[in-house]
Chain A
Amino acid sequence: MSALSDLLRLDIASARKGLADKQFTARELTEAYLAAADDARALNGFITETPEQALVDADAADARLQAGNAVAMTGMPIAQKDLFCTKGIRTTAASKILGDFKPEYESTVSGKLKADGAVLLGKANLDEFAMGSANITSAFGPVTNPWTPEGAATPLTPGGSSGGSAALVAAGAAIAATGTDTGGSIRQPAALCGVVGMKPTYGRCSRWGVVAFASSLDQSGPITRSVRDAAIMLGSMAGHDPKDSTSATAAPVDFEAALAGGVKGMRVGVPREYRTDGMPAEIDALWQEGIEMAKAAGAEIVDVSLPMTKMALPAYYIVALAEASSNLARYDGVRYCAREDGGDLTEMYSNTRGTGFGEEVRRRILIGTYVLSAGYYDAYYKQAQKVRTLIANDFNTAFNNVDVLLTPTTPSAAFAAGDVDDPVAMYMNDIFTVPASMAGLPGISVPAGLSADGLPLGLQIIGKPFDEASVLQMGQAIEDAAGFDKTPRLLAGAKP
Protein backbone atom coordinates (compact mmCIF):
# COMPACT_ATOMS: atom_id res chain seq x y z
CA MET A 1 0.00 0.00 0.00
CA SER A 2 1.37 3.38 -0.96
CA ALA A 3 1.79 6.18 1.55
CA LEU A 4 -1.00 8.03 -0.22
CA SER A 5 -3.62 5.36 0.25
CA ASP A 6 -2.39 4.86 3.83
CA LEU A 7 -3.50 8.42 4.56
CA LEU A 8 -6.89 7.72 2.99
CA ARG A 9 -7.55 4.82 5.36
CA LEU A 10 -7.07 6.81 8.58
CA ASP A 11 -10.02 7.70 10.75
CA ILE A 12 -10.29 11.09 12.44
CA ALA A 13 -8.80 9.86 15.70
CA SER A 14 -5.68 8.47 13.96
CA ALA A 15 -5.33 11.43 11.61
CA ARG A 16 -5.50 13.76 14.61
CA LYS A 17 -2.56 11.89 16.12
CA GLY A 18 -0.65 11.92 12.84
CA LEU A 19 -1.10 15.67 12.54
CA ALA A 20 -0.19 16.29 16.17
CA ASP A 21 2.94 14.10 15.84
CA LYS A 22 3.86 15.90 12.60
CA GLN A 23 3.90 12.63 10.62
CA PHE A 24 2.14 14.56 7.88
CA THR A 25 0.60 17.99 7.40
CA ALA A 26 -3.04 18.92 6.88
CA ARG A 27 -2.08 19.95 3.36
CA GLU A 28 -0.60 16.51 2.65
CA LEU A 29 -3.69 14.82 4.04
CA THR A 30 -5.97 17.03 1.93
CA GLU A 31 -3.83 16.56 -1.18
CA ALA A 32 -4.11 12.80 -0.76
CA TYR A 33 -7.89 13.12 -0.86
CA LEU A 34 -7.83 15.51 -3.82
CA ALA A 35 -5.56 13.11 -5.71
CA ALA A 36 -8.21 10.40 -5.24
CA ALA A 37 -11.00 12.65 -6.54
CA ASP A 38 -11.39 10.58 -9.74
CA ASP A 39 -12.40 7.59 -7.65
CA ALA A 40 -15.01 9.67 -5.82
CA ARG A 41 -16.27 10.88 -9.19
CA ALA A 42 -16.77 7.30 -10.34
CA LEU A 43 -19.23 6.89 -7.45
CA ASN A 44 -20.94 10.23 -8.22
CA GLY A 45 -20.52 10.98 -4.51
CA PHE A 46 -20.11 14.72 -4.88
CA ILE A 47 -22.47 17.19 -6.50
CA THR A 48 -19.95 20.00 -6.16
CA GLU A 49 -16.24 19.58 -5.49
CA THR A 50 -14.36 22.39 -3.77
CA PRO A 51 -10.64 21.61 -4.22
CA GLU A 52 -9.48 25.26 -4.03
CA GLN A 53 -11.43 25.80 -0.82
CA ALA A 54 -10.00 22.54 0.54
CA LEU A 55 -6.43 23.73 0.08
CA VAL A 56 -7.18 27.11 1.68
CA ASP A 57 -8.77 25.28 4.62
CA ALA A 58 -5.84 22.86 4.84
CA ASP A 59 -3.27 25.66 4.98
CA ALA A 60 -5.29 27.42 7.66
CA ALA A 61 -5.38 24.15 9.59
CA ASP A 62 -1.60 23.79 9.32
CA ALA A 63 -1.15 27.32 10.63
CA ARG A 64 -3.39 26.45 13.52
CA LEU A 65 -1.55 23.20 14.25
CA GLN A 66 1.69 25.16 14.18
CA ALA A 67 0.29 27.73 16.59
CA GLY A 68 -0.83 24.99 18.94
CA ASN A 69 -4.53 25.86 18.97
CA ALA A 70 -5.86 22.98 16.89
CA VAL A 71 -8.94 21.06 17.99
CA ALA A 72 -10.11 17.57 17.06
CA MET A 73 -11.58 18.42 13.64
CA THR A 74 -8.73 20.69 12.55
CA GLY A 75 -7.39 19.57 9.18
CA MET A 76 -9.97 16.80 8.65
CA PRO A 77 -11.04 16.59 4.97
CA ILE A 78 -14.81 16.14 5.07
CA ALA A 79 -17.80 16.26 2.76
CA GLN A 80 -20.89 18.29 3.61
CA LYS A 81 -24.19 16.79 2.56
CA ASP A 82 -25.51 19.22 -0.07
CA LEU A 83 -28.42 20.10 2.18
CA PHE A 84 -26.25 22.32 4.41
CA CYS A 85 -26.08 25.88 3.15
CA THR A 86 -22.47 26.89 2.56
CA LYS A 87 -21.79 30.57 2.08
CA GLY A 88 -20.87 31.38 -1.51
CA ILE A 89 -20.76 27.69 -2.47
CA ARG A 90 -23.59 26.26 -4.59
CA THR A 91 -26.12 24.37 -2.49
CA THR A 92 -28.59 22.25 -4.46
CA ALA A 93 -30.47 19.85 -2.13
CA ALA A 94 -30.03 17.61 -5.23
CA SER A 95 -32.94 19.45 -6.85
CA LYS A 96 -33.23 21.35 -10.11
CA ILE A 97 -35.50 23.87 -8.41
CA LEU A 98 -32.62 25.45 -6.50
CA GLY A 99 -30.78 26.05 -9.75
CA ASP A 100 -27.47 27.74 -9.09
CA PHE A 101 -28.41 28.80 -5.55
CA LYS A 102 -25.43 30.25 -3.70
CA PRO A 103 -26.37 30.89 -0.09
CA GLU A 104 -25.46 34.22 1.44
CA TYR A 105 -25.02 32.49 4.80
CA GLU A 106 -23.47 29.40 6.33
CA SER A 107 -25.56 26.81 8.18
CA THR A 108 -24.78 26.68 11.89
CA VAL A 109 -23.55 23.08 11.76
CA SER A 110 -21.28 23.48 8.72
CA GLY A 111 -20.09 26.76 10.23
CA LYS A 112 -19.14 25.02 13.48
CA LEU A 113 -17.11 22.41 11.61
CA LYS A 114 -15.47 25.17 9.58
CA ALA A 115 -14.68 27.12 12.73
CA ASP A 116 -13.05 23.99 14.18
CA GLY A 117 -10.80 23.84 11.12
CA ALA A 118 -12.40 21.04 9.09
CA VAL A 119 -11.41 21.00 5.41
CA LEU A 120 -14.25 21.13 2.88
CA LEU A 121 -13.73 18.65 0.01
CA GLY A 122 -17.16 19.31 -1.46
CA LYS A 123 -20.90 18.93 -1.24
CA ALA A 124 -22.12 15.34 -1.14
CA ASN A 125 -24.88 13.90 -3.30
CA LEU A 126 -28.21 12.97 -1.70
CA ASP A 127 -31.79 12.16 -2.55
CA GLU A 128 -33.66 15.25 -3.77
CA PHE A 129 -34.58 17.29 -0.68
CA ALA A 130 -33.44 14.26 1.37
CA MET A 131 -36.50 12.34 0.20
CA GLY A 132 -35.50 8.79 -0.55
CA SER A 133 -33.82 5.66 0.74
CA ALA A 134 -31.54 4.79 -2.16
CA ASN A 135 -30.06 8.06 -3.44
CA ILE A 136 -31.83 7.53 -6.76
CA THR A 137 -34.02 10.65 -6.66
CA SER A 138 -31.11 13.11 -7.00
CA ALA A 139 -31.38 15.46 -9.97
CA PHE A 140 -27.61 14.98 -10.25
CA GLY A 141 -27.80 11.23 -10.82
CA PRO A 142 -27.60 8.21 -8.53
CA VAL A 143 -24.69 7.35 -6.24
CA THR A 144 -22.93 3.99 -6.54
CA ASN A 145 -22.41 1.96 -3.40
CA PRO A 146 -18.66 1.19 -3.23
CA TRP A 147 -19.60 -2.36 -2.18
CA THR A 148 -21.10 -3.05 -5.62
CA PRO A 149 -19.69 -6.43 -6.70
CA GLU A 150 -17.51 -6.71 -9.76
CA GLY A 151 -19.51 -7.24 -12.95
CA ALA A 152 -22.86 -6.34 -11.38
CA ALA A 153 -25.44 -5.54 -14.07
CA THR A 154 -26.80 -2.63 -12.03
CA PRO A 155 -24.79 -0.84 -9.32
CA LEU A 156 -25.98 -1.24 -5.74
CA THR A 157 -27.46 1.85 -4.14
CA PRO A 158 -25.77 3.33 -1.06
CA GLY A 159 -29.10 3.86 0.69
CA GLY A 160 -30.36 7.34 1.34
CA SER A 161 -30.91 10.06 1.68
CA SER A 162 -27.32 10.72 2.85
CA GLY A 163 -26.09 8.28 0.19
CA GLY A 164 -23.24 10.41 -1.14
CA SER A 165 -21.96 11.05 2.38
CA ALA A 166 -21.97 7.35 3.32
CA ALA A 167 -20.47 6.19 0.00
CA LEU A 168 -17.63 8.75 0.17
CA VAL A 169 -16.69 7.83 3.74
CA ALA A 170 -16.86 4.08 2.99
CA ALA A 171 -14.77 4.43 -0.17
CA GLY A 172 -12.06 6.47 1.51
CA ALA A 173 -12.95 9.58 -0.48
CA ALA A 174 -13.69 11.71 2.61
CA ILE A 175 -12.53 11.08 6.16
CA ALA A 176 -16.04 11.79 7.43
CA ALA A 177 -19.18 13.53 6.25
CA THR A 178 -22.22 15.28 7.59
CA GLY A 179 -25.64 13.76 7.08
CA THR A 180 -29.19 14.59 7.97
CA ASP A 181 -31.73 12.11 9.26
CA THR A 182 -35.49 12.61 9.10
CA GLY A 183 -36.58 8.96 9.19
CA GLY A 184 -33.29 7.11 8.88
CA SER A 185 -31.31 9.08 6.31
CA ILE A 186 -28.05 8.86 8.27
CA ARG A 187 -28.38 5.41 9.84
CA GLN A 188 -29.70 3.47 6.83
CA PRO A 189 -27.04 4.56 4.27
CA ALA A 190 -24.34 4.13 6.93
CA ALA A 191 -25.51 0.53 7.45
CA LEU A 192 -25.65 -0.23 3.72
CA CYS A 193 -22.16 1.21 3.15
CA GLY A 194 -20.47 -0.35 6.19
CA VAL A 195 -19.75 2.85 8.12
CA VAL A 196 -20.94 4.47 11.34
CA GLY A 197 -23.86 6.91 11.22
CA MET A 198 -25.27 8.77 14.18
CA LYS A 199 -28.50 10.72 14.49
CA PRO A 200 -28.40 12.66 17.74
CA THR A 201 -31.40 13.68 19.83
CA TYR A 202 -33.78 16.07 18.05
CA GLY A 203 -32.56 19.53 19.04
CA ARG A 204 -28.95 18.54 19.74
CA CYS A 205 -27.69 20.05 16.46
CA SER A 206 -29.07 23.27 15.05
CA ARG A 207 -31.28 23.04 11.97
CA TRP A 208 -30.52 26.63 11.00
CA GLY A 209 -29.34 26.85 7.40
CA VAL A 210 -30.16 23.22 6.62
CA VAL A 211 -32.64 22.93 3.74
CA ALA A 212 -35.81 21.78 5.50
CA PHE A 213 -37.70 18.56 4.74
CA ALA A 214 -39.83 17.83 7.84
CA SER A 215 -38.98 20.29 10.56
CA SER A 216 -40.24 18.30 13.57
CA LEU A 217 -38.04 15.35 12.54
CA ASP A 218 -34.96 16.71 10.70
CA GLN A 219 -31.70 16.31 12.58
CA SER A 220 -28.04 16.51 11.54
CA GLY A 221 -25.34 14.07 12.49
CA PRO A 222 -21.98 12.58 11.53
CA ILE A 223 -21.15 9.69 9.17
CA THR A 224 -17.73 8.32 10.08
CA ARG A 225 -15.39 5.34 9.96
CA SER A 226 -15.51 4.63 13.70
CA VAL A 227 -17.68 5.21 16.74
CA ARG A 228 -14.94 7.34 18.28
CA ASP A 229 -15.00 9.55 15.18
CA ALA A 230 -18.77 9.92 15.50
CA ALA A 231 -18.27 11.12 19.08
CA ILE A 232 -15.55 13.56 18.02
CA MET A 233 -17.46 15.00 15.08
CA LEU A 234 -20.76 15.23 16.94
CA GLY A 235 -18.91 17.25 19.58
CA SER A 236 -18.08 19.80 16.91
CA MET A 237 -21.58 19.86 15.35
CA ALA A 238 -23.71 19.99 18.51
CA GLY A 239 -24.69 22.94 20.65
CA HIS A 240 -27.44 25.42 21.38
CA ASP A 241 -28.28 27.91 18.65
CA PRO A 242 -30.66 30.81 19.29
CA LYS A 243 -31.37 30.90 15.54
CA ASP A 244 -33.19 27.55 15.75
CA SER A 245 -36.11 27.78 18.18
CA THR A 246 -36.12 23.97 18.56
CA SER A 247 -32.42 23.86 19.38
CA ALA A 248 -31.95 22.32 22.81
CA THR A 249 -30.36 24.20 25.66
CA ALA A 250 -28.94 20.95 27.06
CA ALA A 251 -25.46 21.36 28.50
CA PRO A 252 -22.61 20.51 26.12
CA VAL A 253 -21.15 17.03 26.51
CA ASP A 254 -17.66 15.75 25.79
CA PHE A 255 -18.91 12.79 23.78
CA GLU A 256 -15.44 11.38 23.16
CA ALA A 257 -14.62 11.37 26.86
CA ALA A 258 -17.97 9.69 27.52
CA LEU A 259 -16.82 6.66 25.49
CA ALA A 260 -14.64 5.62 28.41
CA GLY A 261 -17.76 4.91 30.46
CA GLY A 262 -18.17 1.40 29.07
CA VAL A 263 -21.27 -0.78 29.14
CA LYS A 264 -20.80 -2.95 32.23
CA GLY A 265 -24.20 -3.27 33.91
CA MET A 266 -25.96 -1.33 31.14
CA ARG A 267 -29.50 -2.55 30.54
CA VAL A 268 -30.13 -3.25 26.86
CA GLY A 269 -33.70 -3.61 25.65
CA VAL A 270 -34.54 -5.88 22.73
CA PRO A 271 -37.90 -4.77 21.35
CA ARG A 272 -39.83 -7.86 20.32
CA GLU A 273 -42.00 -6.03 17.76
CA TYR A 274 -38.91 -5.37 15.64
CA ARG A 275 -38.86 -9.08 14.81
CA THR A 276 -41.10 -8.50 11.79
CA ASP A 277 -42.79 -11.13 9.66
CA GLY A 278 -40.47 -12.13 6.91
CA MET A 279 -37.32 -10.76 8.54
CA PRO A 280 -34.45 -12.30 6.56
CA ALA A 281 -32.63 -14.99 8.56
CA GLU A 282 -29.29 -13.20 8.20
CA ILE A 283 -30.68 -9.99 9.72
CA ASP A 284 -32.11 -11.96 12.63
CA ALA A 285 -28.80 -13.82 13.04
CA LEU A 286 -26.86 -10.54 13.09
CA TRP A 287 -29.23 -9.21 15.73
CA GLN A 288 -28.66 -12.32 17.89
CA GLU A 289 -24.91 -11.88 17.49
CA GLY A 290 -25.26 -8.27 18.60
CA ILE A 291 -27.18 -9.39 21.69
CA GLU A 292 -24.40 -11.86 22.51
CA MET A 293 -21.77 -9.13 22.00
CA ALA A 294 -23.60 -6.82 24.41
CA LYS A 295 -23.91 -9.63 26.95
CA ALA A 296 -20.24 -10.54 26.66
CA ALA A 297 -19.34 -6.89 27.27
CA GLY A 298 -21.17 -7.03 30.57
CA ALA A 299 -24.56 -5.60 29.62
CA GLU A 300 -27.83 -7.09 30.75
CA ILE A 301 -30.38 -8.02 28.06
CA VAL A 302 -34.02 -7.19 28.69
CA ASP A 303 -37.01 -8.14 26.55
CA VAL A 304 -39.14 -5.03 25.93
CA SER A 305 -42.31 -4.26 24.04
CA LEU A 306 -43.01 -1.27 21.76
CA PRO A 307 -46.56 -2.09 20.64
CA MET A 308 -46.90 0.83 18.21
CA THR A 309 -43.83 -0.12 16.15
CA LYS A 310 -45.84 -1.22 13.13
CA MET A 311 -47.73 2.09 13.02
CA ALA A 312 -44.59 4.26 13.09
CA LEU A 313 -43.94 4.11 9.36
CA PRO A 314 -47.42 5.08 8.10
CA ALA A 315 -47.66 7.79 10.79
CA TYR A 316 -44.24 9.06 9.78
CA TYR A 317 -45.24 9.34 6.14
CA ILE A 318 -48.22 11.50 7.01
CA VAL A 319 -46.39 13.78 9.43
CA ALA A 320 -43.26 14.10 7.28
CA LEU A 321 -45.11 14.67 4.03
CA ALA A 322 -47.46 17.22 5.56
CA GLU A 323 -44.49 19.17 6.88
CA ALA A 324 -42.67 18.77 3.57
CA SER A 325 -45.56 20.15 1.54
CA SER A 326 -45.53 23.20 3.77
CA ASN A 327 -41.72 23.63 3.82
CA LEU A 328 -41.37 23.26 0.07
CA ALA A 329 -43.99 25.91 -0.63
CA ARG A 330 -41.11 28.41 -0.58
CA TYR A 331 -39.82 27.19 -3.96
CA ASP A 332 -42.01 29.48 -5.97
CA GLY A 333 -39.83 30.79 -8.78
CA VAL A 334 -39.42 34.12 -6.99
CA ARG A 335 -36.60 33.65 -4.52
CA TYR A 336 -34.45 30.66 -5.49
CA CYS A 337 -32.97 30.87 -8.97
CA ALA A 338 -35.13 28.55 -11.05
CA ARG A 339 -38.21 30.03 -12.74
CA GLU A 340 -40.44 28.80 -15.56
CA ASP A 341 -42.50 31.63 -16.97
CA GLY A 342 -46.28 31.44 -17.25
CA GLY A 343 -49.17 33.66 -18.29
CA ASP A 344 -49.75 34.92 -14.76
CA LEU A 345 -48.29 34.56 -11.28
CA THR A 346 -50.12 31.31 -10.46
CA GLU A 347 -49.12 29.73 -13.74
CA MET A 348 -45.51 30.77 -13.17
CA TYR A 349 -45.61 29.07 -9.73
CA SER A 350 -47.11 25.90 -11.19
CA ASN A 351 -44.74 25.73 -14.14
CA THR A 352 -41.69 26.37 -11.96
CA ARG A 353 -42.72 23.70 -9.45
CA GLY A 354 -43.97 21.28 -12.10
CA THR A 355 -40.61 21.20 -13.87
CA GLY A 356 -38.32 21.89 -10.90
CA PHE A 357 -39.35 19.05 -8.59
CA GLY A 358 -38.55 15.42 -9.36
CA GLU A 359 -41.13 12.64 -9.28
CA GLU A 360 -40.70 11.48 -5.69
CA VAL A 361 -40.69 15.03 -4.30
CA ARG A 362 -43.78 15.88 -6.33
CA ARG A 363 -45.52 12.75 -5.06
CA ARG A 364 -44.70 13.64 -1.48
CA ILE A 365 -45.85 17.25 -1.80
CA LEU A 366 -49.15 16.09 -3.30
CA ILE A 367 -49.76 13.59 -0.48
CA GLY A 368 -48.81 16.22 2.09
CA THR A 369 -51.15 18.74 0.50
CA TYR A 370 -53.96 16.20 0.49
CA VAL A 371 -53.65 15.15 4.16
CA LEU A 372 -53.62 18.81 5.20
CA SER A 373 -56.57 19.80 3.03
CA ALA A 374 -59.98 20.68 4.42
CA GLY A 375 -61.99 17.60 5.35
CA TYR A 376 -58.98 15.29 5.63
CA TYR A 377 -56.87 17.10 8.21
CA ASP A 378 -58.39 15.34 11.24
CA ALA A 379 -58.66 11.92 9.60
CA TYR A 380 -55.04 11.81 8.48
CA TYR A 381 -52.78 14.44 9.98
CA LYS A 382 -54.27 14.67 13.46
CA GLN A 383 -54.64 10.90 13.75
CA ALA A 384 -50.97 10.49 12.75
CA GLN A 385 -49.92 13.02 15.39
CA LYS A 386 -51.89 11.12 18.02
CA VAL A 387 -50.25 7.88 16.98
CA ARG A 388 -46.96 9.72 17.28
CA THR A 389 -47.80 10.41 20.93
CA LEU A 390 -48.40 6.69 21.48
CA ILE A 391 -45.08 5.84 19.80
CA ALA A 392 -43.25 8.26 22.09
CA ASN A 393 -45.12 6.81 25.11
CA ASP A 394 -43.95 3.30 24.14
CA PHE A 395 -40.33 4.43 24.24
CA ASN A 396 -40.82 6.28 27.53
CA THR A 397 -42.23 3.13 29.11
CA ALA A 398 -39.40 0.98 27.78
CA PHE A 399 -36.78 3.44 29.01
CA ASN A 400 -38.15 3.17 32.54
CA ASN A 401 -36.54 -0.24 32.54
CA VAL A 402 -33.60 -0.08 30.14
CA ASP A 403 -30.77 2.29 29.17
CA VAL A 404 -30.63 1.63 25.42
CA LEU A 405 -32.36 -0.46 22.77
CA LEU A 406 -30.59 -2.77 20.31
CA THR A 407 -32.10 -3.54 16.89
CA PRO A 408 -31.00 -4.16 13.31
CA THR A 409 -30.63 -0.91 11.33
CA THR A 410 -32.17 -2.09 8.06
CA PRO A 411 -34.37 -5.00 6.93
CA SER A 412 -31.85 -5.98 4.24
CA ALA A 413 -28.38 -5.33 2.82
CA ALA A 414 -27.79 -2.90 -0.06
CA PHE A 415 -30.00 -3.41 -3.11
CA ALA A 416 -29.87 -2.37 -6.76
CA ALA A 417 -31.97 0.56 -7.92
CA GLY A 418 -34.43 -1.50 -9.97
CA ASP A 419 -35.00 -4.08 -7.21
CA VAL A 420 -37.47 -1.87 -5.33
CA ASP A 421 -39.95 -0.47 -7.78
CA ASP A 422 -42.90 0.93 -5.88
CA PRO A 423 -42.91 3.83 -3.42
CA VAL A 424 -44.36 1.93 -0.45
CA ALA A 425 -41.84 -0.92 -0.79
CA MET A 426 -39.08 1.70 -0.81
CA TYR A 427 -40.50 3.30 2.36
CA MET A 428 -40.13 -0.09 4.14
CA ASN A 429 -36.36 0.43 4.20
CA ASP A 430 -36.83 2.77 7.12
CA ILE A 431 -38.97 0.42 9.18
CA PHE A 432 -36.38 0.09 12.00
CA THR A 433 -35.13 3.68 11.96
CA VAL A 434 -38.37 5.68 11.76
CA PRO A 435 -39.77 4.92 15.25
CA ALA A 436 -36.82 6.59 17.02
CA SER A 437 -37.15 9.57 14.66
CA MET A 438 -40.81 9.97 15.57
CA ALA A 439 -39.83 10.12 19.25
CA GLY A 440 -36.82 12.40 18.61
CA LEU A 441 -34.40 9.87 20.14
CA PRO A 442 -30.67 9.49 19.45
CA GLY A 443 -29.61 6.45 17.43
CA ILE A 444 -26.45 5.08 15.89
CA SER A 445 -25.77 2.45 13.25
CA VAL A 446 -22.57 0.45 13.63
CA PRO A 447 -21.32 -2.01 10.98
CA ALA A 448 -21.44 -5.44 12.58
CA GLY A 449 -21.15 -8.09 9.89
CA LEU A 450 -21.59 -9.14 6.29
CA SER A 451 -24.57 -10.62 4.48
CA ALA A 452 -24.33 -13.94 2.61
CA ASP A 453 -23.53 -11.85 -0.47
CA GLY A 454 -20.66 -10.15 1.29
CA LEU A 455 -22.43 -6.83 1.89
CA PRO A 456 -22.27 -4.88 5.15
CA LEU A 457 -25.06 -4.99 7.73
CA GLY A 458 -25.54 -2.61 10.64
CA LEU A 459 -26.88 -2.79 14.17
CA GLN A 460 -28.75 0.15 15.62
CA ILE A 461 -28.61 1.41 19.19
CA ILE A 462 -31.33 3.81 20.33
CA GLY A 463 -31.07 5.86 23.52
CA LYS A 464 -33.00 8.17 25.80
CA PRO A 465 -33.28 11.85 24.85
CA PHE A 466 -29.90 13.57 25.27
CA ASP A 467 -28.24 10.34 26.36
CA GLU A 468 -25.99 10.08 23.32
CA ALA A 469 -23.29 8.99 25.78
CA SER A 470 -24.92 5.58 26.40
CA VAL A 471 -25.63 5.15 22.69
CA LEU A 472 -21.97 5.82 21.86
CA GLN A 473 -20.75 3.54 24.65
CA MET A 474 -22.85 0.62 23.43
CA GLY A 475 -21.88 1.46 19.84
CA GLN A 476 -18.23 1.23 20.87
CA ALA A 477 -18.84 -2.13 22.55
CA ILE A 478 -20.48 -3.51 19.40
CA GLU A 479 -17.71 -2.09 17.22
CA ASP A 480 -15.03 -3.63 19.44
CA ALA A 481 -16.73 -7.02 19.53
CA ALA A 482 -17.67 -7.16 15.85
CA GLY A 483 -14.22 -6.05 14.76
CA PHE A 484 -15.62 -5.04 11.38
CA ASP A 485 -12.55 -4.31 9.27
CA LYS A 486 -13.81 -5.16 5.78
CA THR A 487 -13.38 -2.63 3.02
CA PRO A 488 -15.48 -2.20 -0.12
CA ARG A 489 -14.29 -3.21 -3.58
CA LEU A 490 -14.29 0.36 -4.89
CA LEU A 491 -11.71 2.07 -2.74
CA ALA A 492 -10.29 5.52 -3.42
CA GLY A 493 -6.58 5.61 -4.09
CA ALA A 494 -6.32 1.82 -4.34
CA LYS A 495 -4.89 1.88 -7.86
CA PRO A 496 -1.15 2.61 -8.04
Chain B
Amino acid sequence: MSLDRDTVADIARLARINVSDGELDSLAGELSQILNWVEQLNSVDTKGVEPLVGVGTAMAPLRQDVVNDGGQADAVVSNAPDAVGPYFGVPKVIE
Protein backbone atom coordinates (compact mmCIF):
# COMPACT_ATOMS: atom_id res chain seq x y z
CA MET B 1 0.00 0.00 0.00
CA SER B 2 1.48 3.29 -1.08
CA LEU B 3 0.04 6.51 0.32
CA ASP B 4 -0.02 9.69 -1.74
CA ARG B 5 0.24 13.18 -0.32
CA ASP B 6 -3.51 13.78 -0.45
CA THR B 7 -4.16 10.69 1.65
CA VAL B 8 -1.54 11.78 4.18
CA ALA B 9 -3.14 15.22 4.35
CA ASP B 10 -6.49 13.52 4.95
CA ILE B 11 -5.13 11.29 7.74
CA ALA B 12 -3.45 14.32 9.32
CA ARG B 13 -6.77 16.14 9.27
CA LEU B 14 -8.49 13.18 10.93
CA ALA B 15 -5.74 13.04 13.57
CA ARG B 16 -5.92 16.83 14.08
CA ILE B 17 -2.20 17.18 13.47
CA ASN B 18 -1.06 20.17 11.47
CA VAL B 19 1.35 18.98 8.78
CA SER B 20 2.94 21.54 6.47
CA ASP B 21 2.77 21.10 2.69
CA GLY B 22 6.51 20.67 2.55
CA GLU B 23 6.37 17.62 4.85
CA LEU B 24 3.66 15.70 3.00
CA ASP B 25 5.93 13.94 0.52
CA SER B 26 8.49 12.74 3.03
CA LEU B 27 5.72 11.61 5.41
CA ALA B 28 4.01 9.77 2.55
CA GLY B 29 7.26 7.92 1.92
CA GLU B 30 7.81 7.00 5.58
CA LEU B 31 4.23 5.92 6.20
CA SER B 32 4.18 3.87 2.99
CA GLN B 33 7.34 2.08 4.06
CA ILE B 34 5.75 1.11 7.39
CA LEU B 35 2.49 0.04 5.76
CA ASN B 36 4.31 -2.03 3.13
CA TRP B 37 6.15 -3.80 5.89
CA VAL B 38 2.96 -4.66 7.84
CA GLU B 39 1.30 -5.96 4.63
CA GLN B 40 2.96 -9.34 5.33
CA LEU B 41 0.19 -9.97 7.88
CA ASN B 42 -2.14 -10.63 4.98
CA SER B 43 -0.22 -13.83 4.27
CA VAL B 44 -1.56 -15.32 7.52
CA ASP B 45 -4.72 -17.43 7.21
CA THR B 46 -7.01 -16.13 9.96
CA LYS B 47 -10.24 -17.70 8.80
CA GLY B 48 -12.33 -18.54 11.85
CA VAL B 49 -9.86 -16.92 14.27
CA GLU B 50 -11.34 -14.60 16.88
CA PRO B 51 -9.55 -11.25 17.30
CA LEU B 52 -7.69 -10.80 20.58
CA VAL B 53 -8.71 -7.46 22.07
CA GLY B 54 -6.70 -7.79 25.24
CA VAL B 55 -5.11 -10.38 27.46
CA GLY B 56 -6.15 -11.27 30.98
CA THR B 57 -9.51 -10.36 32.39
CA ALA B 58 -12.20 -11.94 30.25
CA MET B 59 -14.85 -9.52 31.47
CA ALA B 60 -14.62 -5.96 32.71
CA PRO B 61 -15.08 -5.91 36.49
CA LEU B 62 -18.27 -4.39 37.85
CA ARG B 63 -18.69 -2.19 40.89
CA GLN B 64 -21.58 -0.68 42.79
CA ASP B 65 -23.13 2.21 40.88
CA VAL B 66 -22.38 4.78 43.54
CA VAL B 67 -20.45 8.02 43.64
CA ASN B 68 -16.90 7.19 44.75
CA ASP B 69 -15.02 10.34 43.81
CA GLY B 70 -15.64 13.89 42.73
CA GLY B 71 -15.84 17.46 43.93
CA GLN B 72 -12.35 18.17 42.58
CA ALA B 73 -13.03 20.70 39.85
CA ASP B 74 -10.08 22.89 40.80
CA ALA B 75 -7.68 19.96 40.63
CA VAL B 76 -9.16 18.85 37.32
CA VAL B 77 -8.54 22.21 35.63
CA SER B 78 -5.28 23.01 37.42
CA ASN B 79 -3.12 22.20 34.37
CA ALA B 80 -5.40 23.76 31.77
CA PRO B 81 -3.81 26.48 29.62
CA ASP B 82 -7.00 28.54 29.82
CA ALA B 83 -8.98 27.68 32.93
CA VAL B 84 -11.92 29.97 33.63
CA GLY B 85 -12.90 29.23 37.20
CA PRO B 86 -13.81 25.54 37.27
CA TYR B 87 -14.18 25.45 33.45
CA PHE B 88 -11.91 24.67 30.53
CA GLY B 89 -11.67 27.67 28.21
CA VAL B 90 -11.66 26.98 24.46
CA PRO B 91 -11.87 29.17 21.34
CA LYS B 92 -15.43 30.15 20.41
CA VAL B 93 -17.23 27.18 18.82
CA ILE B 94 -20.62 28.67 17.84
CA GLU B 95 -20.84 31.83 15.74
Contact = CB atoms under 8 A, between A and B. Distances in A.
A347 B31 CA distance: 23
A146 B53 CA distance: 39
B55 interface: yes
A423 B37 CA distance: 11
Given A344-B91, A345-B90, A387-B44, A353 B52 contact: no
A328 to B, nearest CB: 9
Interface string B16-29: 11110000000100
Interface in A97-115: 99, 101-105
29 contacts: A104-B76, A202-B54, A202-B55, A216-B54, A245-B61, A318-B38, A318-B41, A334-B88, A334-B90, A335-B79, A336-B79, A338-B81, A344-B92, A345-B92, A353-B15, A357-B17, A362-B17, A366-B12, A367-B34, A370-B3, A380-B38, A383-B42, A383-B46, A386-B52, A389-B49, A389-B52, A392-B52, A422-B30, A440-B54
Nearest to A317: B38
Contact of B33 (A101, A332, A423): A423
Interface in B49-72: 49-57, 60-61, 63, 72
Closest CB pairs A-B (n = 5): A354-B18, A440-B55, A385-B51, A386-B46, A339-B81
Interface in B1-23: 3, 8, 11-19
Nearest to B74: A104
Contacts of B72: 104
A327 interface: no
**Interface centre among B11, B30, B34, B42, by most A CB within 10 Å?**
B34
Given A335-B80, A339-B82, A369-B15, A423 B34 contact: yes
A311 B41 contact: yes
Nearest to B60: A245
Contact of B88 (A335, A347, A349, A355): A335
Interface in A314-362: 314-315, 317-318, 325, 329, 332-339, 341-351, 353-355, 357, 362
A290 B90 CA distance: 58
**Interface centre among B31, B50, B51, by most A CB within 10 Å?**
B51
A366 B31 contact: yes
Interface in A77-106: 99, 101-105
A390 interface: yes
A123 interface: no
A344 B93 CA distance: 7
B30 A423 contact: yes
B16 A385 contact: no
A360 B13 CA distance: 18
A248 B57 contact: yes
Contact of A390 (B49, B55, B90, B91): B49
Given A370-B11, A370-B31, A388-B51, A337 B37 contact: no
A439 interface: yes
A384 interface: yes
A373 interface: yes
Contacts of B17: 350, 353-354, 357, 362, 365-366
A386 B35 CA distance: 18
A64 interface: no
Given A424-B37, A465-B55, 7 more contacts: A104-B72, A105-B75, A317-B38, A337-B79, A337-B80, A346-B16, A440-B54
A363 interface: yes
B28 to A, nearest CB: 10
Contacts of B78: 102, 104
A465 B57 CA distance: 12
Contacts of A342: 91
A104 B75 CA distance: 6
